Structures are given as structure tokens and as C-alpha cells.
Structure 1
């Protein structure tokens, strides 16, 4: 009989985890419900990755749709509309899709007497742990509308960052694809036709022309091997990333990349500070907030350091003192955290730090894209120039021989 590991919410809203034996995933779900638990993650022992389970933290809807739903719900809650009616109204406004289907199920759970946070926890693919925990804290503190407003603001800002990155990368990617396509066309179609003239002349060819001919022959003769390698790269990479040690190595390498490493670090710091600040502002206890933030931060190098931070804070240490011991957390973040701890406004200082790092990331991204665009144009011009030179040099030499 297989064993399943689970994470669930108790009737009081507390997060619990453990394992149980069941004949199937469905039977395991029934056992958990029989114990009064609402599962948010269920994984058969021996499974390699949480993503292979049907219960994961991956959202099934876009951040834009989720932020819009959250904003509408906050407005209805602030207007004292009962939750059941509010959810019914939101279901009617949504188009048929994953979010609408999830909201229908949430509405049914609320009708059965569940709180909003527990009802949302039943849809872990859409409402992540941080989302549910903040809603639960808002319910407990009687400030659900304010918490939902902060959540909507955060989701909108994260969507803006994502859109900015996507927009910035779209032009360079397009340039690389177009430039690569042009070069492949020249090397596999145009060059072979021109080269046949040079080969018939039996004249000595320049080195650059010989090199280009060899590249052309290789591409025409072994294109299938290159295509197979490119296709196989994706599944091989996914399989390799199932190993924790390789994922850690990858994340370490990403942080050490020139230019991109510093930008990635600022993006991680921004997300860490803003999520932690938002959780604390919503009334989530600091240990629980650190645990959730560790799940939100996807870089495993930072996750490892955050586990150490959690241990020190659990033993009575300060957050700023714990962060100071790691080189991954810069002095500005440590200083603002210390000021917040002394002034009793740690959540505000963390959000301020997150905003600062987000602005630094945006500024660096703008500068990098401004530098990349002319460099890509130059690289494409250089590549085409080499091809043209490799073709023209033998032509000039042939003309000299004829004269």
C-alpha cells in the first residue's frame, strides 16, 4: 500500500503535515477529510518533485486575473456584502475557465460553512500558501478587506515587473531568432551555390572562405544531429533538475553570472522583502511568514540561507542580526530590517526595501537592454559581413587571375 505525504489545514486554519497509507490518492484524500483536514498538497512517497502532483503551488491563472479577482473581492467585502453573495457575484463576472471553476467550488465550500481562507486553500493551483495565509490572518484580525487590497496591489506590481521583463527581452530574442535564421539560410542555401563556382576554378581559397565552406557542409550534412540535440535538451534538462544538488548548482551559477547575476539577486531580494513585509502587515506570525517566504523565493541558495535565518529567529535572535550573517543579504536590507525592529514597523521597512530593490532591478534592466540592442545589431552586421567577405575575396582573386 503506497504512502502519501501531505500538507493540509486543520479546522482552526493551522498548517499541518504528515504521512498516511492509502490504496490510492482518492482514498488518501478521503482519509484527510475524515480527520477534518483540508489538503493543500498530496504527494506519493518516492515522488521526486512537487510539480508531479496534482496538488502544487503552480497557479492555473495569470497574476493579472488573480489580482483583478482579489480587488473585486476586497471592494465587495469592504461594502459589507456577505461572502457567499460576493463569491456568487464574482463567479458571474468571470468567463468560463480555470478561475471560474475554482470560484464555483470555493462558493460551495463557503455554503457548507467553511471560512474564506479554508475554502481558498482547497484550490492550491490558483491560491498559493502565501495568499491563503494572508487571507486567514485578515479574517482573524477583522481586516479582511484591507488585507485583500494589499494582496491586489502586490499581485498587480508583480505582474508589472513580469511584463517589463517580457517586453525587455522580446526584442533581443526576436533579433537573435531572425539573425540566426538569416545565417542558417545563407550557410545552407546561398553559400553552397556560390561555392561550387570557386571549387570548379581549382584556385586557392582564403582561410575565411574555407572555414565558411566547412561550416556550410557541416550544417547541410549534420543538421539532423543538431536538431536532435536541441530537441533532447529540454527533457534532459528537466530530468537533471529533478536532482536537488543540480538545482542548487544551477541557482549558484545564475547568481554568479556577469550583469544578469546582480539583476537576479535584486529581483529575489525585492520579492523576499515585499512578501515578508506583506505577510507581517497582514498579521501572520514571523516564523510562519518566514516559512512561506522561503517557499516563494525559488532560488535554492537563498532558501538554504533562509532556513538558517528561521532557526536563529526561532531561538530568539533578531531578523536583522540573522540576515547580517549572510553575504547574500546586503547592508541596506539589514539596516532597514533593524530600524523596523527597533521602531515597531518592520513590515513597512521591509516593503520599503523591496520597492528599492525593485527599482534598482528595473533601472539595471533598462540599461542592459539599451546596451544589448546596439550590440545585437553590431553582431548581426559582423556575421553578415564575414559571410560577404568570404564570398567576395575569392571573386577578387579570380578577377586578378583573369587579368
Structure 2
């Protein structure tokens, strides 16, 4: 079936849409009437074309999940879960679970963007300060040395030559800075940029660990959604494996499915696959025995999300003074390279 739109909704927009639809459906309002109500005061980034498209398709007699699919604005996971909700009669619960899931996804992506953007901004500031020093400040010291009938040391002369080259080819330098700024925006704002940053981060142990915990939180959030919709764990694992965006976790999920197919229970398979640590694996076993798996998974997801956020804040809190120290050392080295010889000359004159 062909899509009628190309623009994908953000995680935040999907969560808001699902939350409002869940409230309307719980109130006994049919999807078509609910969409008409939402059209009165709700828009996706100021654009109500997606809602209008859904309304038109529903008016033609199609089911809700078909309408969402034909817009082309919703991910396949949402379409699949809404289909299950319609068939099981639990559409309100599914929409609520989808809202919770995409709220968590929005939080995770916001945290990742913050963790990426801050060091890039600091590095950009460092570059600007250093360039101002070698293009504007060092030439002044060079003139002072010339008036005193002496010359700067070799290190300072090298920096001054770099500064003169930057002044001479300022257009090229500006173009490079624009490219750097565009690169920062690419890494912070786009999914492909996040993917490249994640690939690079996989070679850095602390970042790799954080991404592993993010994948675990996504796994737990996805299982909450599938379990609350009444789906069996084997099929739920298949769907969740498409959400984690982390190869190691995908391998663990496939191992878990194989163990379940071989006859293991879900808690045993999760433990043997190494998806959770021993503490959380025990929680899963208790939840399985008590019939409250979705609640346990929700608690685990929240714990992992909170822990990941705490580690990101710790990483930024360590990175901030580190970058400041590096900037201070570079600036101090540049200034000392000209001030110390100048002080020596002035003292000899005195």
C-alpha cells in the first residue's frame, strides 16, 4: 500500500499523538471522531496535514492502523502494535503503552544529543579563542619585539606564521568553520549523525558501556509494550530486536529467542542470554512467576534510563573541567612563549 506522505514524525510527536488518542478512546470516542477533535487544537510542528490525511482515510471506511500506515509518517512498529490493539480490543492500552515508550525514546535521544553537543560547542570555543590569539594578539607582541630590536622565539614565530596564513586565507578558514558548524549540527540533529557518533563511540569503553545500557533500557521498554498488548514473549522479542539499534543486544535477543524455542522459560532465556545482570534477571523471574512481567519490565526500564542519564551527566561534568584545563594550558603556553622573553628583555633594559 503506498504512503501518502514522506515526513516521519519525531518521537515526541508520536508520544503526544498516542497519549491524546488513548485518552479519547478510553472516553469511548471512536478514532475518526477523535481525530476530528484533535484537528481543532493539535498540529504536528504547526502542520495538520497528517491528521487531515488520517481523517480522510478513516472517513473512507479504512481501519485505524491502515490510516496510520497510509500517511507514511509513523514507524512500522507503531502500525504493528496498533493492529494488535485493534484485533485484541485493547487499543486504548496499546496507545498508552506506545506513548510511554516514545516518551522514553525522546528522553534517551535528548540525552544523547546533549552529550554530543556540549563537547562540540566547547571544542568550537577553544578553536575560536586560540585563533584570536594567534591572529590578533601575537602580531601585537611581534611588533613590540621588533621595536625592541629583537625577535620572538621559534615557537612564537611558528604560531605567528600560522596566524598570518589564516589572515591571508581568511575565506578558506571561514569555509572550514562553516563546515565544522554544519558537521556539529549533523552529529547532533540527524539520525545518521547519531549512528556515526555511535560507531565511533563503540571504540571508547565508557561510551560503549553507556550505549549498551541505552539498548537494555530500550529492550525493557519494548517488552513492556508488547507484553501489555497481550503478545507472547517470542513474537515480542522479534519486534523488540528491531528497536534496540545495538548489534550486541540484537545478538542477545536472538539468542534469547533460540533458547525459548528450545524449551526454556522467558526468565531462563533472558538470564542465559546475558541481557540483564543477575539482580534484574531475578526480578524478571519473580515477575514471570507472579504474572506481573510488564510491571517488572517497566521498573527495569526506568532504572536503566535513570542510570544512563546519571552517567551521561557525570561524563559531561568530567568533560567540562577537562576541556577548560586543556584550553587554559594552550592559551597559557601561547602567552608565556612571548611574555617570558619580553619580561627578560625589559629586565635587562632596566
Aligned to 2:326: 379
CA-CA distance at 1:77 after TM superposition: 0.9
Q: 1:384 to 1:250 in 2, by over 3 A?
A: closer
For residues 52-201 of structure 1, the aligned pairs below 5 Å read 60-95=8-43, 100-124=48-72, 126-166=73-113, 172-198=119-145
Distance 1:226 1:315 in 2: 61
Q: 1:323 to 1:198 in 2, by over 3 A?
A: farther
Residue-by-residue CA offset, 1:175-218 (whole Å, 9 max, x unaligned):
33223212112222332343354467674644643553455456
Distance 2:113 2:333 in 1: 32
SS at match of 2:331: helix
Distance 2:104 2:293 in 1: 20
In structure 2, the gaps of 5 or more residues are: 188-194
Q: 1:328 to 1:196 in 2, by over 3 A?
A: farther
In structure 1, the gaps of 5 or more residues are: 1-37, 41-53, 239-246
Matched residues, number: 339
CA-CA distance at 1:91 after TM superposition: 2.3
The structure 1 residue matched to 2:295, chosen from 322, 331, 348, is 348
RMSD: 3.6
Distance 1:338 1:131 in 2: 28
Distance 1:330 1:255 in 2: 21
CA-CA distance at 1:172 after TM superposition: 4.6
Distance 1:181 1:393 in 2: 24
User: Does the aligned pair in 1 maintain the 2:9–2:74 contact within 8 Å?
Assistant: no
Distance 1:221 1:312 in 2: 66
Distance 1:253 1:96 in 2: 33
User: Does the aligned pair in 1 maintain the 2:11–2:106 contact within 8 Å?
Assistant: yes
Distance 1:85 1:228 in 2: 53
2:236 matches 1:294? no
User: Does the aligned pair in 2 maintain the 1:274–1:354 contact within 8 Å?
Assistant: yes
For residues 241-390 of structure 1, the aligned pairs below 5 Å read 254-326=201-273, 329-390=276-337
Higher helix share: 2
CA-CA distance at 1:358 after TM superposition: 0.8
Higher strand share: 1
Instruction: Return the structure number with greater relative CO, CA threshold 8 A, min gap 6.
Output: 2
Q: TM-score, normalised by structure 1?
A: 0.71
Which shifted more, 105-114 or 155-164? 155-164
Residue-by-residue CA offset, 1:78-101 (whole Å, 9 max, x unaligned):
111122211122123234768622
User: Does the aligned pair in 1 maintain the 2:166–2:173 contact within 8 Å?
Assistant: no
SS at match of 1:295: coil
Q: TM-score, normalised by structure 2?
A: 0.80
SS at match of 1:140: helix
SS at match of 2:323: helix
